[in-house]
Structure 1
């Protein structure tokens, strides 16, 4: 049996504070850097670091990889969902401009996508493909994945067998939040287990 561990960590607070970012490439704020550094304990060990290509993940991943003398790989597939016309806006601004649409999105993302956004179904598929690929590539290793709230939701959705909408609505993932997933490759196939969240 081959056992693989993935530690998932969401990026810290980006410059500009809380807003829909999606594919917008803002770096971490000073507080965001502190949140990320505080979330990693002394003595933790990984074999490899994977990161979203976006600055708010990538810069910290490279810093940590250098400190720990670890290989780091940019995994394009783990980029955040694109929020379309909502990108760059705060929740308050979206509520003012789009009324109930935002509440409906968080309640049922599959039927109420933001205008011009990546659908949650397409996002779920993209993350599923990336998860399958990297699970195979990293089999038997302990991996840190530095990514986004939406990405973690979809990974946990795949692990727990949730619909895209349920995965999007089903987890609270604050800045620098950590989760751990265990994958056991057995004669019966891959067994996925959420070890801890938050």
Structure 2
């Protein structure tokens, strides 16, 4: 018996303007390099629809790609990046200089030691998972491109790989990094396989 198969490509945004920094809710656009990275990453892809984060570094490219290919593009607000609270907009060196111990604790255990006034990782996980379940239900049997963030993709892959929440940040995706998931909708439940992982640059 044939069962529906959904293919979901997860694509992290390219390099944003302003360089590397804690950029959760900070809404910078892509740099020129970032645009080139994204166009190269999607040159050969074939999809039925595009889903993206509402933040500019994801949305503007996703909308351009969808327009060029005549695809529907849906903005999923719950695929936005985690908020880094008081660290938003700061470089790692700036945070290290002022909050070195807190930063070390965050990388070691982000669940127990979130950034000050940042979004708790458990809350981030719950909203990303809710958006993921809505996508699965809505895109059954389709090929979908999801343009999102390093943290969002790490959270999705953590769930697929069965990693504990405290290990979420061990999944690293570089700019324009990609992962392909195959979802088989069987009579016995949903079977998910990681088919490809390209960590990007």
For normalisation by structure 1, the TM-score amounts to 0.96
Q: How far off is 1:100 after superposition?
A: 2.0
Gaps of at least 5 residues in structure 1 are none
**1:195 is matched with which residue?**
195
Contact 2:160–2:192 (CA under 8 A) maintained in structure 1: yes
In the TM superposition, what whole-angstrom CA distance separates every residue of 1:82-110 from its partner, at most 9, and x where no partner exists? 11000000000010010122122112111
Query: Are the counterparts in 1 of residues 158 and 171 from structure 2 also a CA contact under 8 Å?
Result: no
* Separation in structure 1 between the aligned mates of residue 35 and residue 43 of structure 2, nearest angstrom: 14
CA-CA distance at 1:55 after TM superposition:
0.4
- Matched-pair contact (CA < 8 Å) for 2:53–2:148: yes
Q: Whole-Å Cα distance in 2 between the matches of residues 34 and 81 of structure 1?
A: 25
User: For residue 177 of structure 2, what is the aligned residue in structure 1?
Assistant: 177
Alignment of 1:76-115 (within 5 A): 76-115=77-116
Moved beyond 3 Å, runs of 4+: none
Measured in 2, the distance between the counterparts of 1:105 and 1:146 equals 26
What is the RMSD computed on CA atoms of the aligned residues?
0.9
Q: Which residue of 1 aligns with 2:27?
A: 25
Corresponding residue SS for 1:99: helix
User: Is residue 141 of structure 2 the alignment partner of residue 140 of structure 1?
Assistant: yes
Distance 1:20 1:117 in 2: 11
Q: Distance in 2 between matches of 1:68 and 1:33?
A: 17
Cross-structure match for 1:119: 120
For this pair of structures, how many residues does the alignment match?
196
Q: 2:157 matched to which residue of 1?
A: 156
SS in 2 for 1:50: strand
- Deviation per residue, 1:120-177 (Å, 9 max, x gap): 1111111111111111111100000000000000010111122222122x21211000
Distance 1:100 1:193 in 2: 37
TM-score, length basis structure 2: 0.95
Instruction: Give the distance between the partners of 1:107 and 1:138, measured in 2 at CA.
Output: 36
